[in-house]
Amino acid sequence: MNEAQFNHPEAVTRGWYWLCRSDEIRRGRVKALRLLGRDLAVYRGEDGRVHALDAYCAHMGAHLAEGRVEGNSLRCFFHHWRYTAEGRCDDIPCLAATPPPGARVRRWPVAEKHGLVWLWTGAEAAHEVPEAPELAGQDCRMLLVSRFRKNCHPNVVLINAIDEQHFRSVHRLPGEILSMQPLPRDQANIEFHNTGKLPRSHWLGRLLGRFYKDALTYRLSYWYGSCGFVTLGPDFLHCHILFALRRGDDGETEGQTIALTRRRKGLSGWIADKLILWTTAAIGWYFANGDTRVFQTIRFNLRTPIGADRAVLAFIRHYEQQPLAEWNDEADDARPRRHMRGVSGKSA
Ligand code: FES
Ligand SMILES: [Fe+2]
């Protein structure tokens, strides 16, 4: 297959991408971070809100994470230009007048959710950070499980969870127990629901039949090809796992697993929440670490799709029609210039 965006080493689609854990950005502190090939200065203002600016100062290109947080603004270390959270320079100490219009750096919309800081790769976020479908709008408790790396593109990591065939071959699930039905929700979101049959002739099917009315609950909600919620578990208790993924500089996947549950009341609720989160974390860990070997060496190329690859093909098609982000267009602004332009009078 020949895709323009799917599994592409540089394409960045518009959406929310995880940047770091919330507790890594302390109030009044700034941190240098890199996301999808772009350098950023990420800081938490005195009001507790996180902001992300392109890293290099509009004056001479100093990295703004060398500077310091002042109120809700960021002051460059070098000549003390001050930038607002919108990326506009509003103070140059040796200049009494207003700073020139070009004195600005790009700011990116940022939000905190599920224990992480997220960045939207466009001018204005089109919607909120995604939630697990069954937990939308609810007060939740979460547990940051683990960070992981895979030697392949995040799109390919997501493929794994909807790859029906490998559940039979690698994980030895019997018969037609998994059959993933693609359900596109909107341009950025697609769900996959299991509609398979519990094989009553198999001991595992009979055992699972006690806990599931119909099909085994196994649902996925994918966003932007980089973020996936998994819902699974018996009818009386669903577990929710978030896999937040992004592409690293070498084209590999940097992932973070998070267990989520609805917040229950009282001490017994707190204990129940903890038990559910730990159980979910164990499942999430198994998911994130299963099949690891194949992801160290795979060169994903679905050259010979068959009927059982239906969900995989649906995801690839879905991802292909997502809008690209305004991310790489201005990548130069986020990198230091190697040479000064125009100083010698010659064109650069
Ligand atoms: S390089 Fe930032 S103020 Fe000069
Ligand atoms: Fe697997």
- Is there a domain that residue 329 lies in? no
pLDDT digits (tens, 9 = 90+) for 219-265: 999 999 899 999 999 888 999 999 999 999 999 999 999 999 999 99
Residues 50, 109: contact at Cβ < 8 Å? no
Atom of ligand 1 nearest to the CA of 77: 2
Task: Calculate how far, in angstroms, residue 190's C-alpha sits from the geometric centre of ligand 2.
Answer: 20
- C-beta of 56 in contact with ligand 1 (< 6 A): no
- C-beta of 60 in contact with ligand 1 (< 6 A): yes
Same domain for 110 and 211: no
Mutate to test the pocket of ligand 1, among 54, 66, 76 (most ligand atoms within 8 A of CB): 76
- C-beta of 312 in contact with ligand 1 (< 6 A): no
pLDDT at 34 over 70: yes
CATH label of the domain that carries residue 91: 2.102.10.10
- C-beta of 95 in contact with ligand 1 (< 6 A): no
Task: Calculate how far, in angstroms, residue 122's C-alpha sits from the geometric centre of ligand 1.
Answer: 26
Atom of ligand 1 nearest to the CA of 80: 3
- Is there a domain that residue 41 lies in? yes
- Is there a domain that residue 343 lies in? no
Domain span including residue 54: 16-120
Same domain for 283 and 162: yes
Q: How confident is the model at residue 124 (pLDDT cuts 50, 70, 90)?
A: very high
Q: How confident is the model at residue 2 (pLDDT cuts 50, 70, 90)?
A: low
- C-beta of 224 in contact with ligand 1 (< 6 A): no
Same domain for 155 and 293: yes
Residue 345 is predicted with a pLDDT of 35
Same domain for 309 and 258: yes
pLDDT at 344 over 70: no
Mean pLDDT of 154-168: 93
Same domain for 292 and 202: yes
| Burial call 228-250: b when 16+ CB within 10 Å, e when fewer | bbbbbbeeeebbbbbbbbbbbee
Same domain for 316 and 218: yes
Same domain for 66 and 100: yes
Look at ligand 1, atom 1, and give the residue with the nearest C-alpha: 60
Look at ligand 1, atom 4, and give the residue with the nearest C-alpha: 79
As given in the structure block, the two tokens for residue 193 are 């629901």
Mean pLDDT of 132-151: 95
- C-beta of 62 in contact with ligand 1 (< 6 A): yes
| Spatial separation of the C-alpha atoms in residues 91 and 81, rounded to whole Å | 6
pLDDT digits (tens, 9 = 90+) for 278-316: 999 998 888 777 777 898 899 999 999 999 999 999 999
- Structurally, the chain folds into a number of domains equal to 2
- Is there a domain that residue 345 lies in? no
pLDDT at 341 over 60: no
Task: Calculate how far, in angstroms, residue 113's C-alpha sits from the geometric centre of ligand 2.
Answer: 27
Task: Calculate how far, in angstroms, residue 111's C-alpha sits from the geometric centre of ligand 1.
Answer: 27
Task: Calculate how far, in angstroms, residue 289's C-alpha sits from the geometric centre of ligand 2.
Answer: 9
- Is there a domain that residue 198 lies in? yes
pLDDT at 144 over 80: yes
Mean pLDDT of 159-181: 89
CATH label of the domain that carries residue 207: 3.90.380.10
Q: Which of 61, 96, 120 is the last residue of a domain?
A: 120
- Is there a domain that residue 8 lies in? no
Residue 339 is predicted with a pLDDT of 41
- C-beta of 78 in contact with ligand 1 (< 6 A): yes
Residue 337 is predicted with a pLDDT of 44
Same domain for 237 and 98: no
Nearest ligand to residue 76 Cα:
1
Mutate to test the pocket of ligand 1, among 60, 74, 90, 95 (most ligand atoms within 8 A of CB): 60
Nearest ligand to residue 230 Cα:
2
Q: Which of 75, 99, 120 is the last residue of a domain?
A: 120
Q: Can you say whether residue 149 is alpha, beta or left, with left for phi > 0 and alpha for psi between -120 and 50 degrees?
A: beta
pLDDT at 90 over 70: yes
- Is there a domain that residue 325 lies in? no
Q: Which of 120, 150, 169 is the last residue of a domain?
A: 120
Same domain for 74 and 141: no
In the block, which residue shows the tokens 């230009």? 81
Same domain for 222 and 89: no
- Is there a domain that residue 10 lies in? no
| Spatial separation of the C-alpha atoms in residues 56 and 198, rounded to whole Å | 57
User: Comparing 64-73, 92-101, 168-177, which segment has the lowest mean pLDDT?
Assistant: 168-177
- C-beta of 81 in contact with ligand 1 (< 6 A): yes
Same domain for 200 and 154: yes
Task: Calculate how far, in angstroms, residue 157's C-alpha sits from the geometric centre of ligand 2.
Answer: 10
Same domain for 115 and 140: no
Check residues 329 and 115 and name the one with the higher pLDDT: 115
pLDDT at 273 over 80: yes
